Structure 1
Amino acid sequence: MALPKKLKSMNLYNDGGSYVGQSKSVTLPTLSRKLEAWRGAGMDGPVKVDLGHSDDGIQIEWTLGGWDLTALRQFGAVRADGVMLRWAGSVQRDDTGEISAVEVVVRGRHEEIDFGDAEQGEDTEHSFTTTCSYYKLSIDGNVEIEIDLLNFIFVVNGEDRLAEHRAAIGL
């Protein structure tokens, strides 16, 4: 019997600057594909055809305690990959004590800043939604998934799943 790896500690970095002591929560991006049902002649049922990444895009949501000028000054970034965030997590199995490093790196721009409630004498939190054009998930230093929407790159476990498509269209 084994126990699952659970998040024990984390930190968030914005363009290299640490949010230790400031980062309250991070909702890591949901990865999804756009699948369309196809049922052709001679098929007894539909098969979903993979049409690439979902139209919902890739987003990361994060909350900071207090005011942060770095993120505020990034609002309205003109480049689709103008902001880089890095989330570092430490996960541990409680049966073996084994610790793994989990890292998510994204590049994009802030779509929404929610300043929350401003109430004297109460906690102040700001929430950010950052829409991403780049995503990379690494576990213990191994790149598991890398998505670069602007450069037509999609790698899973070392396999570049768009390499042949790029070659077919001359990229």
Structure 2
Amino acid sequence: MNPIPEKVVNYNVYDDTEKLVGIASEVTLPSLENLSETVSGAGILGEYESPTPGHFGSMTIEIPFRTILDKSFQLMKNRGRSIVLRAAQQSYDVSSGQASTRPLKITVRGIPKGLELGKLAVGGMTESKNTMEVLYLKVEENGKVLLELDKLNFIFKVQGEDLLADIRRQI
């Protein structure tokens, strides 16, 4: 029986190789939504959306900080840095009755899109938040690349399969 995936035990966020201290509890990861065109016409009952392979709409990542920090302003500079999230994910193996963990690594490169300074409150967090436009995204679990998307270099791989290889050859 396959283990039951349960949760993220903990994670850290790195700016290149430096750990970002002061991150709040959650990082909002990018959503991938294919660009598509509506297809309709003779012989088609109605219409449907036809996704364009490897082409995605705007993707963002939000990095929240508990308080206003120098790091938030460093992330506003367009320096081509990577943001790396490293997590330990827990699963439960029903047959052995034991929990185990496996590593998750998400690498993001992009350009600064915004900075929310948050709010000031006595005894409270500012809940500042940096937003980056994602140009590159790589998701690895347990050392295996599950997804690699590089918008500027025409790369889109899912579970190791290069889904744009034929298109690159044709153009």
TM-score (norm 2): 0.85
Rounded to whole Å, the distance in 1 between the matches of 2:4 and 2:136 is 32
Matches within 5 A, 1:78-117: 82-95=80-93, 96-117=98-119
Cα deviation digits, residues 113-165 of structure 1 (max 9, x gap)? 11111234432332111111100011111000100000011000111111111
Q: Match for residue 75 of structure 1?
A: 76
> What 5-or-longer segments of structure 1 have no aligned partner?
none
Q: Match for residue 127 of structure 1?
A: 129
Rounded to whole Å, the distance in 2 between the matches of 1:153 and 1:104 is 16
Q: Structure 2: which amino acid aligns with 1:83? A: R
Rounded to whole Å, the distance in 2 between the matches of 1:129 and 1:74 is 9
Q: 2:30–2:59: 8 Å Cα contact kept in structure 1?
A: yes
Q: Match for residue 166 of structure 1?
A: 168
Q: Structure 2: which amino acid aligns with 1:4? A: P
Answer yes or no: is 1:31 the counterpart of 2:29: no
Rounded to whole Å, the distance in 1 between the matches of 2:43 and 2:132 is 45
Displacement of 1:41: 2.4
SS of structure 2 residue aligned to 1:70: helix
TM-score (norm 1): 0.85
Q: Structure 1: which amino acid aligns with 2:100? A: E
Cα deviation digits, residues 1-20 of structure 1 (max 9, x gap)? 86432111011011211025
Displacement of 1:72: 0.8
Q: Match for residue 138 of structure 2?
A: 136
Q: 2:34–2:52: 8 Å Cα contact kept in structure 1?
A: yes
RMSD: 2.0
SS of structure 2 residue aligned to 1:28: coil
Aligned residue pairs, count: 164
Displacement of 1:50: 1.4
Rounded to whole Å, the distance in 2 between the matches of 1:112 and 1:71 is 10
Q: Structure 1: which amino acid aligns with 2:13? A: L
Rounded to whole Å, the distance in 2 between the matches of 1:146 and 1:126 is 29
Cα deviation digits, residues 26-64 of structure 1 (max 9, x gap)? 011111112222123222343421124333x12111111
Q: Structure 1: which amino acid aligns with 2:71? A: T
